[in-house]
Amino acid sequence: MDGVVEVVREATRRRSFAVISHPDAGKSTLTEALALHAKVISEAGAVHGKSGRQGVVSDWMEMERARGISITSAALQFSYRDTVINLLDTPGHADFSEDTYRVLSAVDSAVMLLDAAKGLEPQTLKLFDVCRHRGIPVITFINKWDRPGREALELCDEIVERIGLQPMPLTWPVGSAGHFRGVADLSDGSFVRYHRTVGGATAATEERLDAETAQAAEGAEWAQAVEESELLAASGGEFVPERFFEATATPVLFGAAVLNFGVRHLLDLLVDLAPAPAPRADADGDIRPLDAEFSAFVFKVQTGMDPAHRDQVAFARVCSGMFERGMVVTNATTKKPFATKYVQQVFGQKRSTVDIAYPGDVIGLVNASALRVGDTLYSGKPAVRFPGLPSFAPAFFAVARPADLSRAKQFRKGVEQLSSEGVVQLLRSDLRGDAAPVFAAVGPMQFEVAAHRLEHEFSSPVRLDRLSYSAVRRLGDSRQRNLVDSGRRSEVLTRSDGTELALFEDEMSMRILLRQHPELELEPLVATGQ
């Protein structure tokens, strides 16, 4: 009984959330600023190692640091106010949206980061749609208020008009975008004035003033902030926590992550308001209680986080029970046991051994070559399996061949590894053979990542020859494979999950073949595993 109480108690202390945004909205900078305010790092850097400081803790891949963008999700775990934070930083680039979608399956809430000058952008809208579909409550942080941008009311109106969420501001900016003085704390009417630190390297100091003192100090800018916030509250923007949990409204905060302004408000809100882990439904729709025996699902697999060892880490979200290092669990996919001898908590690229974990935690299972994205792990009986994670319809295709035939063994090993991680989808056919697999991707930058990793992690430079296919369907009857393969501008390739994909140079080529063979069964390719 004590163990059951402990699991439930520890679960209530967990907050697991993802940060979603369009590229360049400042997502990795915000991630680092949160860690800085939680005092788990002492100095903030920049993606390019500003002033000789280390790079952003969540951007650990060489390509990320070189380009200044996030191209892989990262997991950070730290404590703040007796709460365990599991923060998942997601790729900002649209080409890696499949990775982001998987991450969103492992969290209980999300922070939607908006650029004060740009507002809601296409990638943000796509990611919000996933949150809406999953019922994930969203907190909005309007970033870069230290730079010229749009009006605060205009940005809030856009949230209502474009995604149908009612903004519920908890802070309001004092001073227009580019002239950021601080924020009005709408919970008590006080003014929080920020003071810059050198290069934003340390947490900004805060000075709290009452409304009367703020009026005297800031004059018209304070009066305007109060008037605008009251106007929004009167038009339905008053803060009602239940609307946040129902995912019909979003708390709104303003800040400047690069200066560490407004970040503490966000961290406190996550602790005070964001939902703790809740019981999850398994693949059969049955709810698995938090205090049931241990269960978790793998949402990400990553190799090469430690260049010295090239080990493989499977990131798993704990859904129920207490995890203890060394326990032997069952992989629901293979029905085989998996020994959890090496388990780590992750802080960017840095790792430390973990002995115990609870629902909501993200654990890194090391040397996990037997695990794939979507696998469920559990202990005891009966067996449990959580819904699989989606594979999306690819839009780009390239034949992969080793540039150096003497490295063929390393090439094959690397290709299998990239496929298991979901970096690219792997397609094969008898016609092309195993020596020339086809990489399929949602976005072309995935090819760059695959080629870079094959060369630098597996010492196998690769030659990628793009294929001109632009239309893809699922073949409904494998006996009709020859009908597609016999076409001049089409072929059938088999994905690693067994799905047979019919590829066509364009929609016209597909329609011509269908007119010639009306019996041909072609189906739209939808995300699998949902």
Give the CA dihedral 48, 52, 57, 63, nearest 10 degrees: 30
In whole angstroms, give the CA distance from residue 61 to residue 310: 13
In the annotated binding site for GTP, the residues are 89-93
Tokens of 142: 């309007």
Q: Kindly give the residue spans of alpha helices, DSSP state H, lying in 389-458.
A: 408-421, 445-457
Q: Which residue has the tokens 């992750």?
A: 346
Give the CA dihedral 176, 181, 187, 188, nearest 10 degrees: -130
- Closest by Cα among 491, 508, 509 to 500: 491
Could you give the maximum distance between any two Cα atoms of the chain, in Å?
81
Beta-carbon contacts of 278 under 8 Å, excluding residues fewer than 6 positions away, are 108, 290
Tokens of 522: 């072609």
Amino acid at 263: V
Please report which helix (H) or strand (E) contains residue 187, including its range: none
- Closest by Cα among 495, 507, 403, 493 to 454: 403
How many Cβ atoms are within 10 Å of 6's Cβ, its own excluded? 14
In the annotated binding site, the residues are 89-93
